[in-house]
Amino acid sequence: MPSIFTRIIEGQLPGRFLWRDERAVAFLTIAPIKPGHALVVPIEEVDHWLDASPELNAHLMAVAQKVGAAIQTAFEPTKVGLMIAGIEVPHVHLHLVPIHELHDLDFSRAISDPAPEMMDDAAEKIRIRLRAAGHTEVAD
């Protein structure tokens, strides 16, 4: 059975995409800890990051750096935190969260029902920064 992320990637479920290339996508999470909280997900369904090939992990990290740089310029946090938790969905995904304090990575602080306008605005801010950096993989 396809993971929820595969269903989003294939367009069966909606997603606010930021990036799409031949191996990975990035989209906003539906329950952000902070506005701009994004996920980098391989198109290939792999449950645990330890099971992904070194090449796929390297590609995911490269995408995370590019999307993370866009989040940094769009939201001006102290840092963009990166976390690989993988408990809630059995499909590798990297969380990119604009943070000011360590507690900004606490999933209990997630916004369970974010305003669609806030989500659309966050997605567009990140896409604008990705385009400005010359990335052609920006998803619309």
93 flagged as catalytic? yes
Token pair for residue 75?
A: 């939201």
Element at 64 (helix H, strand E): helix 54-75
- Residue of 86, 84, 93, 79 lying closest to 28 (CA atoms): 93
Sign (positive or negative) of CA dihedral 3, 5, 8, 14? positive
Contact of 52 with 61, CB cutoff 8 Å: no
Count, residues in the chain: 140
Q: In sequence order, what are the beta bridge partners of 25?
A: 20, 41
Q: Which of 91, 93, 95, 135 is catalytic?
A: 93
Q: Which of 2, 96, 84 is nearest to 45 (CA)?
A: 2
List, by residue number, the catalytic residues.
93
